[in-house]
Structure 1
Amino acid sequence: MMKLYLIVFLCAMIFLGCESKKEEKESTTKFLVTSPLKKDTTITRQYVCQIHSIQHIEIKALESGYLQKIYVDEGQKVKEGQPMFQIMPVSYKAEYQKAQAEVNFAEIEYKNTKLLADSNIVSKNELSMAKAKLDKAKAQADLARTHLNFTEIKAPFSGIMDRFHVRKGSLIEEGDLLTILSDNSTMWVYFNVPEAEYLDYKPISKDTSIKVNLEMANHKIFDYPGKIETIEADFNNETGNIAFRAAFPNPNGLLRHGETGNILMTVPIKNALIIPQKATYEVLDKKYVFVVDQNNILKSRKINILNEMPDLYVVDGITEKDKILLEGLRIVKEGDKINYKYLAPEKVIPNLNLHSE
């Protein structure tokens, strides 16, 4: 019986010794703790965008006939008024010459009638009819000259040629597509903004010089910033988005019609609560932090991510006075009592280089 008590006593001592060592280990482990930083800041939001030339039009034939000459080449820069295509003008020249001859005849007839009318040999009505006949001949000549001019197609503005849809010698009809001309001196970039974010932008949208940057498809930032010029009138009821348009100068011609990219818009946020991403953990797609209470006990607290920055979150659900666990989130659980070392957020945030664990 005495041996049994001795064994129980020894076991109890061993257990107490282990607990004492565990408590001693826990008491010597200090966790890093910090607080949210409250300050005015900016965030950069990203939107997929479509890039369009400021002018991008189809060049079509204005008259029927054989394509006699092509003065330009695909991809070539052309200036406003520069000849591009020539449709065989022979028949149109003949029509114009015929119309001009009728003008000459009607003009002679009018002059003769006027002499007779001045001598009271013919009535003023006959003079009026001769004048009307002359005006009609001039109008027909002007129309014939217009048709003749349409056989030479000139650039309506300076731009870059697209590929040809016809070749020299082709028989073309009025309205056939010849090529496309793009003015890439300025690019219009369209992107869609969700309703909630639009409401954030609206107070600053009165400033027509809101600057944005363009991230191109190769993930490089375009050299020239743009500015938001217009916002569409209506929301898309299916997507809940509204379209913005930004204009970008394109002096080197790097951007072309049809490209894609991302608009980067910097937005100011007042009194933002900022915490390190590494101070958060996730459960079922929801973000949490460990808050240390006045008794050094860990309490799990759900937070909402309002915006994301490199290594940082802008959140709500906590206050700037709360103390949150910064490291060791994977080795503790809710209800644990800890010893900690407090680091001010002004010292923690500038030195972050890791994402949340």
Structure 2
Amino acid sequence: MKKRIFNYLIPALLGVLVTTSCGEDKSSGEAQAQAQQAQKLPVISIPQQTLTGYSSYPASIEGIVNSGVRAKIQGYISNVLVDEGAKVRKGQALFKLETQSLSQDANAARANVNAAQVEVDKLKPLVDKGIISNVQLETAKAQLEQAKSNYESIAANISYATVKSPVDGYVGAIPYREGALVGPTDTTPLTTVADIEQVYAFFSMNESEYLNFIQKTEGATLQEKIENFPEVTLVLANGKEYEQKGKIQTVTAQVDRTTGTVSFRAIFDNPNQLITNGNSGTLKIPIEYKDVPVVPLNSTFEQQGKI
């Protein structure tokens, strides 16, 4: 009899325990749900603003004038009158070429001029008296003019022996020194003089970038669009922004078939000559994005390295 009662009690007790456990779980879940519903979170309206981004392009720098200096005559350098990096003025002497042989030629040419002049002076009275024909005098005059021309040519070559700067600017590398034989056919110039009061920044865009940029710029013609291009920024090789803003001046408006790019040229003032020929950098063009929703950074969260 006791055994039968015990068998009845066990299922009953288990039922009570299960019911109690389920009730507790249900109550706990409802409490958590109510707590979550009761939690208040801040709500903001997301404003729309005009933001500025940048497109960046590698750029190479050159002075607005970059003039190669070459010898107009062949000769040996007798003196280098400036040093690399020196600031020079237009017409300033940079090199002297040996002129000894030219001076000898000039003396001989001058003697020929004198002799031809004597011949003309001798024939004039003879023609006036009818002793000789005028043809002989005209021939002598022609020989005099030829002698003068030869002398003037040699004298000009002597003046070319002083090689002068063609522009105001700064002297570049000087590959030739005293004793070097130089001439007008040399492929390498004696030096280069660059005017870097202003500098050009050359850069390029691919065809797609070019079309997007042109289409977004106001203007009916390409020239009008160029005038409306925004000011650009130059980031130097050390990562710092150049203090002077630049302006895009020219666009080739032709796609290079080899590279698939369109070339641009921007100009920058360079009052302190901080940048010069051969510098490189990155040119940044501002791009406006209008009516962009702006979400505060503190309203975002990061998950697995992504916002």
Does residue 327 of structure 1 match 2:276? Answer: no
Correspondence for 1:197 among 209, 224, 242: 209
Match of 2:271 in 1: 251
SS at match of 2:76: strand
Return the offset for 1:233: 3.5
Whose radius of gyration is greater, 1 or 2?
A: 2
Distance in structure 2 (CA, Å) of the matches to 1:18 and 1:240: 68
TM-score by length of 2: 0.79
Match of 1:273 in 2: 292
How large is the RMSD of aligned CA atoms in angstroms? 3.0
Distance in structure 2 (CA, Å) of the matches to 1:30 and 1:103: 110
Count of residue pairs brought into register by the alignment: 286
Counterpart of 1:229, as a letter, is Q
Alpha carbons 2:77, 2:182 under 8 Å: kept:
no
Counterpart of 2:181, as a letter, is I
Match of 1:314 in 2: none
Correspondence for 1:185 among 197, 201, 218: 197
Counterpart of 1:232, as a letter, is T
Distance in structure 1 (CA, Å) of the matches to 2:86 and 2:190: 15
Compared CA separation, residues 76 and 328, structure 1 to 2 (3 A): closer
Does residue 173 of structure 1 match 2:182? Answer: yes
Match of 1:334 in 2: none
Distance in structure 2 (CA, Å) of the matches to 1:118 and 1:356: 109
Distance in structure 1 (CA, Å) of the matches to 2:142 and 2:228: 56
Does residue 159 of structure 1 match 2:176? Answer: no
SS at match of 2:112: helix
Alpha carbons 1:31, 1:328 under 8 Å: kept:
no
TM-score by length of 1: 0.69
Alpha carbons 2:56, 2:282 under 8 Å: kept:
yes
Distance in structure 1 (CA, Å) of the matches to 2:228 and 2:107: 55
Compared CA separation, residues 218 and 8, structure 1 to 2 (3 A): same
Correspondence for 1:128 among 95, 115, 138: 138
Alpha carbons 1:226, 1:246 under 8 Å: kept:
yes
Counterpart of 2:293, as a letter, is I
Percent identical among aligned pairs is: 26
Correspondence 1:291-302 to 2 at 5 A = none
Say which structure is richer in strand.
Answer: 1
Return the offset for 1:217: 2.2
Instruction: Please say which of residues 24-33 and 77-86 is displaced more in the overlay.
Output: 24-33
Does residue 212 of structure 1 match 2:232? Answer: yes
Compared CA separation, residues 20 and 161, structure 1 to 2 (3 A): same
Say which structure is richer in helix.
Answer: 2
Alpha carbons 2:48, 2:294 under 8 Å: kept:
no
Does residue 224 of structure 1 match 2:244? Answer: yes
Distance in structure 1 (CA, Å) of the matches to 2:227 and 2:149: 52
Post-superposition Cα deviations, 1:300-347, rounded to whole Å, max 9, x if no partner, equal: xxxxxxxxxxxxxxxxxxxxxxxxxx435749xxxxxxxxxxxxxxxx
Match of 2:34 in 1: 24
Return the offset for 1:85: 1.1
Instruction: Please say which of residues 234-243 and 183-192 is displaced more in the overlay.
Output: 234-243
Return the offset for 1:113: 3.7
| Unmatched tracts of structure 2, length 5 or more | 1-10, 219-224
SS at match of 1:254: coil
Distance in structure 1 (CA, Å) of the matches to 2:294 and 2:49: 11
Return the offset for 1:86: 0.8
Distance in structure 2 (CA, Å) of the matches to 1:227 and 1:328: 40
